[in-house]
Structure 1
Amino acid sequence: MSLPDISPVQLRYFLLVVDTGSFQAAAAKACRSQPALSLAIRQLEARLGQPLLEQGNRSTLTPYGQYCVPLMRDLLARHDSTLDALERHARSETGTLSLGTITAFATNWLPELVSRYREQYPNVALRLLDDNSINITRMVLAGEVDFGVTAGTSADKGLTFEPLITDAFGLVCRHDHALARKKSLRWEQLEGLTLIGTTAHGGLTDRECAEPVRRCALYASNMISLLSMIERGVGVTVLAKYGLPPWMDQLVFVPLTEPRVERTLGMLCRADRSLSPAAAAMHGLMKDCFAGRLAP
Structure 2
Amino acid sequence: MLKIETLRAYVTVARSGNLSDAAEVLGRTPSALSMMLKQLEAHLDEPLFETDRKNRLTALGAFVLEQAEREVQHFDTTVRAIEGYARAVYGRVRIATVPSVAGTIIPQVFSRYINDFGEVDVEVRDMDSSSIRHELSRNRIDIGIATKGKHDAGLHSELLLSDEFGVICAPDHPLAQQDGPVSWAELAEHRLIANSLSAGIEAAAARDLHAQALLTAQNLTSIFGMLRAKIGVTLLPEMAISAAAVGELVFRPLADATARREIHLLRKADSSISPAARFLEECIKETVATLQVGSEAALDAARLSDAP
Aligned AA (1:234): I
Alpha carbons 2:196, 2:218 under 8 Å: kept: yes
- Normalising by structure 1, we get a TM-score of 0.88
Q: Does 1:290 align with 2:296?
A: no
Cα distance between partner residues in 1 of 2:128 and 2:237 = 13
Number of equivalences: 290
Q: Does 1:194 align with 2:197?
A: no
Residue from 54, 57, 64 that aligns with 2:52: 57
Aligned AA (2:213): C
Alpha carbons 2:100, 2:243 under 8 Å: kept: no
Secondary structure, counterpart of 2:23 in structure 1: helix
Higher helix share goes to which structure?
2
Q: Describe the shift of the 1:196–1:47 C-alpha distance in structure 2 as closer, same or farther (beyond 3 A).
A: farther
Could you tell me how far 1:50 is from its partner in structure 2? 4.3
Worse-matched range after superposition: 72-81 or 206-215: 206-215
- The 5-angstrom pairing of residues 250-261 of structure 1 reads 250-261=248-259
Could you tell me how far 1:18 is from its partner in structure 2? 1.6
- Normalising by structure 2, we get a TM-score of 0.84
Secondary structure, counterpart of 2:48 in structure 1: coil
Aligned AA (1:17): V
Worse-matched range after superposition: 106-115 or 58-67: 58-67
Secondary structure, counterpart of 1:275 in structure 2: coil
Post-superposition CA distance 1:172-200 (Å, at most 9, x none): 11111212123101223221321011111
Worse-matched range after superposition: 279-288 or 13-22: 13-22
> Residue 40 of structure 1 corresponds to which residue in structure 2?
36
> Residue 244 of structure 1 corresponds to which residue in structure 2?
241
Cα distance between partner residues in 2 of 1:154 and 1:53 = 73
The unaligned stretches of length 5 or more in structure 1 are none
Alpha carbons 1:167, 1:240 under 8 Å: kept: yes
Alpha carbons 1:102, 1:130 under 8 Å: kept: yes
Secondary structure, counterpart of 2:174 in structure 1: coil
Post-superposition CA distance 1:60-95 (Å, at most 9, x none): 533322221111111112222222233333333333
Alpha carbons 1:20, 1:26 under 8 Å: kept: yes
Alpha carbons 2:130, 2:149 under 8 Å: kept: no
Alpha carbons 1:154, 1:161 under 8 Å: kept: no
Aligned AA (2:283): L
- The 5-angstrom pairing of residues 256-267 of structure 1 reads 256-267=254-265
Aligned AA (2:222): S
Could you tell me how far 1:273 is from its partner in structure 2? 1.9
Could you tell me how far 1:169 is from its partner in structure 2? 0.9
The unaligned stretches of length 5 or more in structure 2 are 297-308
Q: Describe the shift of the 1:68–1:269 C-alpha distance in structure 2 as closer, same or farther (beyond 3 A).
A: same
Could you tell me how far 1:46 is from its partner in structure 2? 4.5
Cα distance between partner residues in 2 of 1:33 and 1:108 = 59
Secondary structure, counterpart of 1:282 in structure 2: helix
> Residue 278 of structure 1 corresponds to which residue in structure 2?
276
| RMSD, matched Cα | 2.4
Secondary structure, counterpart of 1:257 in structure 2: coil
Q: Does 1:69 align with 2:65?
A: yes
> Residue 128 of structure 2 corresponds to which residue in structure 1?
132
Could you tell me how far 1:9 is from its partner in structure 2? 1.6
Worse-matched range after superposition: 112-121 or 184-193: 112-121
> Residue 158 of structure 1 corresponds to which residue in structure 2?
154
Residue from 20, 27, 34 that aligns with 2:16: 20
Could you tell me how far 1:128 is from its partner in structure 2? 1.6
Cα distance between partner residues in 1 of 2:45 and 2:133 = 58
Could you tell me how far 1:122 is from its partner in structure 2? 5.2
> Residue 306 of structure 2 corresponds to which residue in structure 1?
none
Aligned AA (2:281): H
Q: Describe the shift of the 1:47–1:252 C-alpha distance in structure 2 as closer, same or farther (beyond 3 A).
A: farther
Post-superposition CA distance 1:233-285 (Å, at most 9, x none): 00111111112225432211111123531121121111122222332221110
Q: Describe the shift of the 1:202–1:194 C-alpha distance in structure 2 as closer, same or farther (beyond 3 A).
A: closer
Residue from 98, 111, 118 that aligns with 1:115: 111
Could you tell me how far 1:154 is from its partner in structure 2? 5.5
> Residue 26 of structure 2 corresponds to which residue in structure 1?
30
Worse-matched range after superposition: 7-16 or 232-241: 7-16
Cα distance between partner residues in 2 of 1:7 and 1:44 = 10
Cα distance between partner residues in 2 of 1:287 and 1:244 = 22
Aligned AA (1:73): E
